[in-house]
Amino acid sequence: MLRIIFMGTPDFSVPTLTALAEAGHEIAAVYTQPPRPAGRRGLELTPSPVQREAERLSIPVCTPLSLKSADEQQAFAALEAEVAVVVAYGLLLPRAVLEAPRLGCFNGHASLLPRWRGAAPIQRALMAGDAETGMMVMKMDEGLDTGPVALQASVPIGPDMTAGELHDRLSSIGAPLMVEAMSQLEQGRLALTPQAETGVTYAKKIEKAETRIDWSQPARDVHDRIRGLSPFPGAWCEFEASGRRERLKLLRSTRAEGSGGPGELLDNGLTVACGDGAIRLLEVQRAGGRAVPAEEFLRGAQLKPGDRFL
């Protein structure tokens, strides 16, 4: 068994941490982002999902704000781990950290590299209309997801699959993939393949300005944006209710038949015209409300064909 430092923060990372522990590896420590303000007033400091799992497993937890200082790098090296496993940690690893474990640092990344290097590979794959993505285990270097690849598992992307659904699927296959990688590494038979030099794309962080729907875009692009941003941060538009504008979060949609002015409601089933074609909204959420099916929203919104989403 290997002596491992695990580095991760969100829910996505938890299955891999659990699987490595269950496989019998010694988890010397868990590194995760510090507790963040949460709750209605933002007054409570809430530990990350990875920290909660580490505490359940009685694993020591480290929550540095940065790994750039000599003291933090010395503390990391003092753990004498053979390998570090990184899954959605959220901090850059300096060279001193990358070189500290004898066998290196390995990252579980949610794309088929070199496509979608960077922060938001799941959302970007959906927003681009990709038909396939996957999980990759790669050995880390100082570049942005540029290291050689060890193992990969592909996942088809369904036409209406949301980012939340793809997130869960990739998280579930990433855990056994990393366990297998660590098994092969321990046995000295983990092969590394340099990434292709062609086909490189970057999955930049989602910006707030990208979340508002532009109904003048083709239906394909509108649909892919909705599902790529669902459930978080959520694509949105506005509509008029009782003489005032109200924001509507769009959580689930599908391609539909029909045409009209961009944003025009075409029927009583929440089919909306786009710049080219139409989509049908399946699940939405009014400001301050809960996510509801289209039928329930329509009963309360008092919209009719010809009304327009903005």
pLDDT value for 154: 98
Spatial contact of 123 and 225, defined as CB atoms under 8 Å apart: no
Q: How many CA atoms lie within 13 A of 24 on its CB side?
A: 4
Which whole number is the average pLDDT over 166-190?
Answer: 98
Which whole number is the average pLDDT over 3-9?
Answer: 98
> Looking at the DSSP assignment, which residues form a beta bridge with residue 87?
8
Mean pLDDT across the chain: 96
114: annotated binding-site residue? yes
| Domains (range + CATH), the chain | 3-202 (3.40.50.170), 208-301 (3.10.25.10)
111: annotated binding-site residue? yes
Q: How far apart are CA 270 and CA 172, in angstroms?
A: 34
Q: Three-state SS string across 208-271, please?
A: HHHHECCCCCEHHHHHHHHHHCCCCCCEEEEEEECCEEEEEEEEEEEEECCCCCCCEECCCCCE
Split at pLDDT 50, 70, 90, the class of 243 is confident
Spatial contact of 177 and 117, defined as CB atoms under 8 Å apart: no
Q: Is pLDDT of 253 > 90?
A: yes
- Report CA-CA distances (Å) from 94 to 63, 139, 144, 182, 286: 16, 14, 12, 22, 44
Q: What is the pLDDT of residues 128-174, one digit of tens each?
A: 999 999 999 999 999 999 999 999 999 999 999 999 999 999 999 99
Q: Is pLDDT of 222 > 90?
A: yes
pLDDT value for 19: 98
Which whole number is the average pLDDT over 115-137?
Answer: 98
**DSSP codes, the chain:** --EEEEEE-SGGGHHHHHHHHHTT-EEEEEE-PPPEEESTTS-EEE--HHHHHHHHTT--EE--S-S-SHHHHHHHHHT--SEEEEES--S---HHHHHSSTT-EEEEESS-TTTTEES-HHHHHHHTT-SEEEEEEEE--SSSS-SPEEEEEEEE--TT--HHHHHHHHHHHHHHHHHHHHHHHHTT----BPPPSSS--EEPPPPGGGGB--TTSBHHHHHHHHHHTTTTT-EEEEEEETTEEEEEEEEEEEEE----STTBB-STT-EEE-SBSEEEEEEEEETTS-EEEHHHHHHHH---TT-B--
Spatial contact of 66 and 73, defined as CB atoms under 8 Å apart: no
Q: Is pLDDT of 41 > 80?
A: no
Q: What is the pLDDT of residues 67-87, one digit of tens each?
A: 999 999 999 999 999 999 999
113: annotated binding-site residue? yes
Q: Is pLDDT of 48 > 90?
A: yes
User: The pTM is what?
Assistant: 0.94
pLDDT value for 104: 98
